[in-house]
Structure 1
């Protein structure tokens, strides 16, 4: 067949699917955006989903079926629900059935064109398709030959059978969107200081807890390997299921030849499990056994509450919820209903600030002044000028961005080309970011966990949002940026601002009628939300977005004369001359 998915796994997901995915991200209609992390339905709504997405029995092959009928039957059999591939294997030769590995990927297609037969090959053209890997992580749209499935059909025991099936589950988008949801598996950064969400798609229903644990046991998705680490030992597997009792206790019975865990390693493993399983609203706490023995908990007790691992919050455990911005060239900060000019040197009238970004703990800010060509760092409450330390100068400096570890990133434009800098305790140095460095990039954001960069890149066809992953060395210094991807392709429009609305979710601000109307879209940071997105329309001259990656603070549209809460539609006054405002980061 043409372009069979690799053994590494490259399932396919279509743009038509994305509308269904965003229904889980944006509330009914186009009224408002979500304010929490990955959306997973409660058990009640899952049951309702399962009534709508009723069980499907696969049909075995019939005697005398043609080549095309066998291929069509094979595709139909893969839509059995709950998922099972026993009947689908009956459409394969004995040798092919033994080797076929549909867990390597999931091909999700919007539609097929009529099959074509040529000799012993049946060709099935797919329309609009994208891919997920073996872990259920988004891999992006397919194009060209990747949209064509070729099946070699031979005769075995007097009947046509497929000899070379694609190593993937191949299913239609409507089937997929009714039965799968995007959640996150939680791993650690290389220093084990902060949790990192890795979005994946899992089946909904009563087995959600089982799917989440099984996904975590499988380790980081392929594109995250080398970026994150896990404290779940290799060699462990979960039993038939992870039952959740009436008290909300998920009982995780792990088996396998895994090394003995230290108390510290066990605590980190439990934090991963807790943050992953808290997405199932039925789960309140975990009880974990390894080969029948209880996993010891620090402080004693048998159960580990899902909210216990707050010290590893992917949005930053000590992050403030205050706002920071610029008004009349001076630093303003405070809660949304009580913004005030800073009393220190950064609030002086002659300061001439162009843009600011507060460190997640709110104690330190990075400011760009001198007409946009100098980056300085100082304390929010500093009262003397020498405490402002210059760390970079030259070119045009865009708004800087911080991660929770205190690394400062900044985009510098020189001759219309972007240079990415990172500033840490070793000083300032360039980092080559594929897809961003050397391009006409306009804005750069880093995730609080420090493992993702996203940027707006300008082009003739409009602005694109591109991303890359950050690899850290064992000491926590930035080693390199890898795995570039497109979060949102160009659509002939300009993007005015980006903001994290969750640990792995981003809001995009696009002026539709400049100065009058703006559109706010929400997307997953892995690029899984694209195509036909639901959106919120805001009237007025929106100059930016203020959003908190914890997902617990209001998402605010920043206008020159007020703040607008996207969800409640409540408004707050702002200081005169406001030109930007955002949460730390």
Structure 2
């Protein structure tokens, strides 16, 4: 059963505020959402006209004017080029990357050089993908200022758009560009930042046509032929139909390839709320649509969705060592071996199709795979034993990942195929560390792990390289998704195809915090959620399926942390609850 939550004690609310810092004052319920978005409504982002250099401007004034001119909105860099020498202006490429700085110190002149000292900054690559913080030694931009036609001008500008974080938050939006996994079975989202405004559809298509971001190459594939560009723009008519004119030399496209191209475009463009369908031409010829339709709905490619098939309302858990399953508020014991009275399950993960489960039993020292429901023809199979195993995790292709939490020497295991044998996979930043938990994305190309350290737990991310036959061949260099902040993280789960939720006790047994963060580690310009939950929380359940509630899990209930709705566990007290995956 589900019900609205009662009011909490005033003392607990006051404590929640004290411990959460930036979290706003709770108003009702034991689960309180601290609203949070890092993005201001772009309708408040007024136009900014860049000012050209004044006659007789000093070196410092020229440098400051150049920085100010790069904040022109809508984006244009023609005025910024006026602060450069003719030679520098001809070679300047501000589209190479974007530098986002939080603040800067007053510029300093030394001989013919003007130094711009940034206090902290992050960068995006040429497509708009997040590339993390700039190292401290690189935070100083030394600009050589010389005399050109009787005026001071910059001779060596950085090939970047350099803008303040406050400006960026108001005007850029994190979106996903959609590519395919190597087997073209599921779409893989690649998060990037694009400018908001009337040209959102054009920005999305242009970015998609640029191909995968550099760090995703070799991991994803695109069926949009290379060398194509979008026409002057992507107009959206009054009926919500986007007209995408692709221009450039391209080989003849088969109907199968056209369907995959349309899937990429549809999933990318559906992020523009004004678009409901698209029409696509390739060098003036209509791209063939399935069934001879005249337009392609942005919902037509749901079968390729990055979260895979299935709804977000079926959950699986453990009650008294037995597997339970059902819709929210309707859990029942399962009929398979893991639902038996002597199952002894301590953690479990159900495959995204809901057919099989991987369970850890024998006090955490054995991993078995079995069907969720009774099936006499498929006995349980032991895939690992003798370790200290965390909750397993599945991707949509049925690959099973298991973390062995050996003291200070974690091992990552992978089981592929129906009858696959477990093998070790070396994951830099996770293997050989004090890793505590691990989760893989539904598309199978990303994994994230919680790694314990002296300064608290950090979240490490790595990309997974999948070979042509669907087998994992390697993992790429890790990145820091969430640096340590002194706290421990007791649970994590994918809340969307590009975001993860983290559960961290701020006062064990009394208060915990749920933070939703970007899986690429982006910290500026992303939607953010920070939520305080009260009481003895056992875990956090979430799913990349769009309509799946995020749940704080207690022994006797589980609570939607956004809608503040509660579901009773009834006669099945819980020790774990999760969605498939």
Cα 1:238–1:40, aligned 2, differ >3 Å: closer, same or farther?
farther
TM-score (norm 2): 0.91
Indicate the SS of the match to 1:365: strand
Rounded Cα–Cα distance in structure 1 between residues aligned with 2:238 and 2:535: 49
Aligned with residue 352 of structure 1, among 331, 344, 348? 344
CA–CA separation in structure 2 for the residues paired with 1:85 and 1:333: 57
Match of residue 463, structure 1, among 454, 457, 465: 457
Q: CA, structure 1 residues 572+319, in 2 after alignment: closer, same or farther (shift >3 Å)?
A: closer
Which of 575, 578, 583 does residue 574 from structure 2 map onto? 578
Q: SS of 1:96's equivalent?
A: helix
40 and 298 in structure 1: CA distance in 2 versus 1, 3 angstrom threshold: farther
| Residue 438 (structure 2) pairs with residue 479 (structure 1) | no
CA distance in 2, matches of 1:558, 1:231: 42
| Residue of structure 1 in register with 2:185 after alignment | 193
Contact 2:174 2:525 in 1 (8 A): no
Contact 1:334 1:340 in 2 (8 A): yes
Residue 568 of structure 1 aligns to a residue whose secondary structure is coil
Q: Which one of the candidate residues 505, 523, 532 is aligned to 1:511? A: 505
Of 549, 559, 578, the match for 1:554: 549
1:6 maps to which residue?
A: none
Distance 1:243 1:531 in 2: 26
Does residue 495 of the first structure (1) align with residue 489 of the second (2)? yes
Superposed displacement of residue 147, structure 1: 1.0
Q: 1:420 to 1:393 in 2, by over 3 A?
A: same
Alignment partner for residue 178 of structure 1, among 145, 153, 170? 170
- Structure 2: distance between partners of 1:31 and 1:79: 37
Distance 1:353 1:531, change over 3 A: farther
Q: Give the direction of change, closer, same or farther, for the CA distance of 1:534–1:298 in structure 2 (3 Å limit).
A: closer
Match of 2:20? Answer: none
CA apart distance, 1:196? 0.5
Q: Does the alignment pair 1:454 with 2:448?
A: yes
Tell which deviates more after alignment, 415-424 or 507-516: 415-424
Residues 173 and 525 of structure 2 are in contact (CA less than 8 Å); yes or no, is this contact kept in structure 1?
Answer: no
Q: Kindly provide the CA deviation profile for residues 84-109 of structure 1, in whole angstroms up to 9, marking residues without a partner as x.
A: 11011111111111110000111111
1 CA distance for matches of 2:384 and 2:140?
51
**2:523 matched to 1:529?**
yes
Q: Is the 8 A contact 2:32 2:533 kept in 1?
A: no
Matches within 5 A, 1:431-450: 431-450=425-444
Query: Is the 2:312–2:547 Cα contact (8 Å) retained in structure 1?
Result: no
Deviations 1:485-534 (A, max 9, x none): 11100000000110111111111111111011111111111111379965
1:268 aligns to what? 260
Residues 369 and 530 of structure 1: CA distance in aligned 2, closer, same or farther (over 3 Å): farther
Distance change >3 Å, CA 54–CA 281, structure 1 → 2: same
1:49 aligns with 2:42: yes
Picking from 283, 288, 303, the partner of 1:296 is 288
In structure 2, C-alpha distance between the alignment counterparts of 1:498 and 1:63, rounded to whole Å: 58
CA distance in 2, matches of 1:362, 1:251: 39
Whole-angstrom distance in 1 between the partners of 2:323 and 2:434 = 28
Q: Which residue of 2 is the match for residue 215 of structure 1?
A: 207
How much does 1:298 deviate? 1.9
- Alignment RMSD: 2.1
Structure 1: distance between partners of 2:285 and 2:546: 37
Q: Which runs of 5+ in 1 are unaligned?
A: 1-21, 24-29
CA distance in 1, matches of 2:377, 2:181: 36
Q: Secondary structure at the match of 2:309?
A: coil
**Is the 1:488–1:530 Cα contact (8 Å) retained in structure 2?**
no
- Runs of 4+ aligned residues of structure 1 deviating over 6 Å after TM superposition are none
Contact 1:345 1:385 in 2 (8 A): no
Classify 1:384/1:530 alpha carbon distance in 2 versus 1 (closer, same or farther; 3 Å): farther
Match of 2:558 among 549, 558, 563: 563
Q: 1:277 to 1:34 in 2, by over 3 A?
A: farther
Secondary structure of the 2:338 match is: helix
Equivalent-residue separation in structure 2 for 1:259 and 1:352 (angstroms)? 58
3-state SS, counterpart of residue 267 of structure 1? helix
Partner residue of 2:301?
309
- Which blocks of at least 5 consecutive residues in structure 2 are unaligned? 1-22, 25-30
Partner of 1:253: 245
The aligned counterpart of 2:8 is none
What is the deviation of 1:551?
2.1
Q: 1:386 to 1:171 in 2, by over 3 A?
A: closer
Residues 364 and 380, structure 1, Cα contact 8 Å, conserved in 2: yes
Distance of aligned partners of 1:530 and 1:82 in 2 relative to their CA distance in 1, 3 Å threshold? closer
Query: Structure 2 CA distance, aligned partners of 1:545 and 1:266?
Result: 40
Hey, what's the Cα distance between the residues in 1 that align with 2:312 and 2:548?
A: 10
Counterpart selection for 1:538 from 518, 533, 552 = 533
TM-score using structure 1 length: 0.91
2 CA distance for matches of 1:245 and 1:31? 41
Moved more, 304-313 or 335-344: 335-344
State whether structure 2 residue 337 is matched by structure 1 residue 342: no
